[in-house]
């Protein structure tokens, strides 16, 4: 029995591990997830909500800008390849707006082109995360931004309270995968990266 307890302590119980706050991770950050894929929004939203963060979601760039200006999240995960307004265009608009210019932004993409990282840095993103990604990578990005001083959870007044997303049932949560895989359309090089 002692051997089993040792193994359990070394590798941890995944359910208990998610309930324990990670070191270097802020509490109750308001995070906006922007991706045209409902699966990516669900997976990333699940990961963040399980760690006690408030999650907002947008399926396109225009909605993302509206939500970012209205709710001023503490952090944004932003997909690069989206129909309509690309992630690069959203990033530029956020950086030019006095209300949103200081929000840390992590760009995400399943595109196989390494040039995206260059463009992400050039346009002012704080970090880049490639699909597929799992919990450890998401929280490594959050911890890095926190330790560097870029991610600071601001206290909100009652008037600034962020509307909560509907909480999925246990069955709905069980249906959401733990790894975010890229969609096929993410494998195409966006026009902004070709220039």
More confident residue, 195 or 145: 145
In this prediction, residues 167-195 reach a mean pLDDT of 54
Tell me: cis bond preceding 132? Omega within 30 of 0 counts: yes
Residue 122 is predicted with a pLDDT of: 74
What is the spatial distance between Cα 23 and Cα 185, in angstroms, rounded to a whole number?
Answer: 36
The tokens for 154 are 């601001």
Spell out the residues 6+ positions from residue 51 whose beta carbon is closer than 8 angstroms to its own. 18, 21, 22, 25, 139
What is the spatial distance between Cα 132 and Cα 179, in angstroms, rounded to a whole number?
Answer: 7
DSSP letter at 60 equals: S
What is the spatial distance between Cα 81 and Cα 109, in angstroms, rounded to a whole number?
Answer: 7
In this prediction, residues 128-152 reach a mean pLDDT of 92
Three-state DSSP class for residue 129: strand
How crowded is the C-beta side of 59, counted as CA atoms within 13 Å? 4
Residue 112 is predicted with a pLDDT of: 67
The tokens for 4 are 């089993």
pLDDT classification of 171: cutoffs 50, 70, 90:
low
Three-state DSSP class for residue 181: coil
Confidence (pTM): 0.72
CATH for 31-155+169-194?
3.40.50.2300
In this prediction, residues 113-132 reach a mean pLDDT of 78
Q: Is 80 exceeded by the pLDDT of residue 36?
A: yes
Contact yes or no for 31/76 (Cβ under 8 A): yes
Sheet containing strand 30-34, edge to edge, reads 54-58, 30-34, 75-79, 105-109, 127-130
More confident residue, 40 or 185: 40
């Amino acid at each position: 029995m002692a051997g089993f307890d040792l193994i359990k302590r070394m590798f941890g119980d995944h359910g208990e591990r998610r309930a324990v706050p990670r070191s270097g991770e802020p509490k109750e950050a308001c995070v906006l997830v922007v991706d045209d894929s409902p699966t990516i929004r669900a997976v990333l939203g699940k990961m963040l909500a399980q760690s006690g963060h408030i999650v907002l979601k947008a399926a396109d760039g225009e909605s993302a800008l509206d939500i970012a200006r209205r709710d001023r999240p503490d952090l944004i995960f932003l997909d690069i390849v989206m129909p309509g307004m690309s992630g690069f265009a959203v990033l530029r608009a956020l950086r030019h707006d006095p209300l949103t210019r200081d929000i840390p932004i992590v760009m995400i993409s399943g595109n196989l082109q390494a040039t995206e990282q260059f463009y992400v840095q050039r346009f002012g993103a704080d970090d880049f995360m490639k699909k597929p990604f799992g919990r450890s990578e998401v929280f490594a990005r959050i911890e890095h931004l926190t330790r560097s001083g870029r991610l600071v959870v601001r206290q909100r007044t009652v008037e600034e309270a962020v509307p909560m997303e509907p909480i999925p049932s246990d069955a709905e949560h069980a249906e959401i995968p733990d790894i975010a895989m890229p969609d096929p359309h993410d494998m195409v090089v966006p026009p902004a990266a070709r220039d």
